[in-house]
Amino acid sequence: MKKYLTYIIAIVTLFAAFVGVFNFFPRSEYSELERRELTKRPAFSFRALTSGEYTKAVSSWYSDTEPFRDLFMTISMEVRKARELNLRGTDNHVTFIAAEQDPELTLSEPSEDIVAPVNPILPKDSVAPSTPVPDPNPDLDERAKITNNGIFIVGKTPEVRAMMAYLGKGGGKNYAAVVNLYKETFPDVNIFCMIIPTAVEYYCPPRAKTATFPETATIDTLYAHLRPDVLPVPLWQVMASHADEPIYLRTDHHWSPLGAFYAAQQFCRVAGVHVPQLSEFEQHVTHRFVGSMYGFSQDISVKHSPEDFVYYTPLGVTYNTTYIVYDVDSLYQVVGEHRPYQGEFFHHFRDGDSRAYCTFMGGDTKIAKVQTSTRNGRRVLILKDSFGNALPGYLFGSFEEVHVVDGRYFTKNMVDYVSQNAITDIVFANNVFKAYAGGRQYRRFLTQQGTRTYTPRVTAPAPQPDTLSVASSGTVFVQDSLRVSANDTLRADSHDTLTVKNNKLNME
């Protein structure tokens, strides 16, 4: 009897402890693990009470904001670690689920037929799915697993890589139609289309490829349906050639700033402006970064595999950034807009901060306008998802102005915005998930707040791939031929070397 009494007292004490914690301790307001604001306590009203909305809202608030939420979730993940299943062979039937926490990564099936043409006409520099990709770690096959939320994880602690499988089969025609519409709307503006592959395209072990589809099917179909006067920015081969470098973050769904740098180089080549070199930037590091895939996968091995978040800030160019910040609700809908203000473009986060990808502009919910010391008459507008956040900082030495608009947060009329800011170049820079979804929001930008008539202020300079732009000191190696126009014309034959010292150009 005494033994049973001890058990009863222990259980009652434990229950009382939980009641005390969940009812009297401060409730959580933000989840670092899930990277989101938790549900706010609802305001009381008799109308809401009588309709039942108030009690429902209180229940949601109470269950979403328990004290020590992240701690309990971490403990739960540690316990679940023993239940991990390894992929063995290719007969596993696996369903991957796009992470609901990030709306831009949720596949939204377009209304059109999403099956790619049998023989699509591939654009110049397009890469077929059969093109081999350098394998940075051939041993990953034996260390692949699927978490309970469908996130694919390869490798072992402390070097695991978390990825999201791609479920799009073909698709891309709706997105191409939107890009083409921008060219029809802005005939005097250079329109570029950059589709960004994700990590699974390059780091998926062969034994797991049956659980994902090749992203090239969407990319090639999309590029094949662009107008001839829309310029594609092919990235597949560029990223493949650097796959043995840290071009994608291991613990986050984004690419790394280094991957974005190689993409920015490719864009500048196509646009015919100065192509940045890594030597023109200063390197910064946030250590012990664990990104969004920890919350998406709820897998403790991701937390135990932190990485360095390495980013680069431009040297030799001055710039200032003006922001218009939006307020958004829990459904990512814009509910308010702040007055323009000037702020920093780069935000350095402390070591271990999971928000390090917000280094660029501090996040997505804003319009950014960057005025630079570059003088070439080119003003670029980047229409992007969060992958595109890492691009603008590499373009300050290539454009007079860099404008950044997120596809989820823009309340102005795009026709007015392009005219008022004398935009000469527009680049669509979105990951393949976003492209598969169709880009309907970009179409809406053209007509929201009433239809406008576009009146170009300037004629955009045509891309000139052989234009020379160098800093006050540096070396340029001529691969083919070079023609530079200033007051005089400089011509250099193949393999000549141009050296710039103290603003004086010498040819060897």
Among the listed residues 488, 490, 436, the one whose alpha carbon sits nearest the alpha carbon of residue 219: 436
| Bridge pairing between strands 30-31 and 489-492 | unpaired
* Least trusted range by pLDDT, from 75-84, 165-174, 200-209, 373-382: 75-84
Distance CA 369, CA 377 (A): 15
Containing 218, the helix (H) or strand (E) segment is helix 216-224
The answer, yes or no, to whether residue 22 has pLDDT greater than 90, is no
Q: How confident is the model at residue 270 (pLDDT cuts 50, 70, 90)?
A: very high
Would the pLDDT of 109 be above 50? no
pLDDT at 73: 56
pLDDT above 90 (res 479): no
pLDDT of residue 441: 94
The string of pLDDT tens digits covering residues 450-476 is 555 555 655 566 665 444 444 444 444
Q: Where are the domains of the chain?
A: 2-81, 103-445, 474-507
Place of tokens 């070199």: 277
For residue 131, what are the CA distances in angstroms to 126, 128, 215, 362?
A: 10, 6, 13, 37
Q: Measured on CA atoms in the order 85, 91, 97, 99, is the torsion positive or negative?
A: positive
> Poorest-confidence range of 37-51, 286-300, 304-318, 386-400?
37-51
pLDDT tens for 41-90 read 677 777 777 777 777 776 665 566 667 555 555 555 555 555 444 443 33
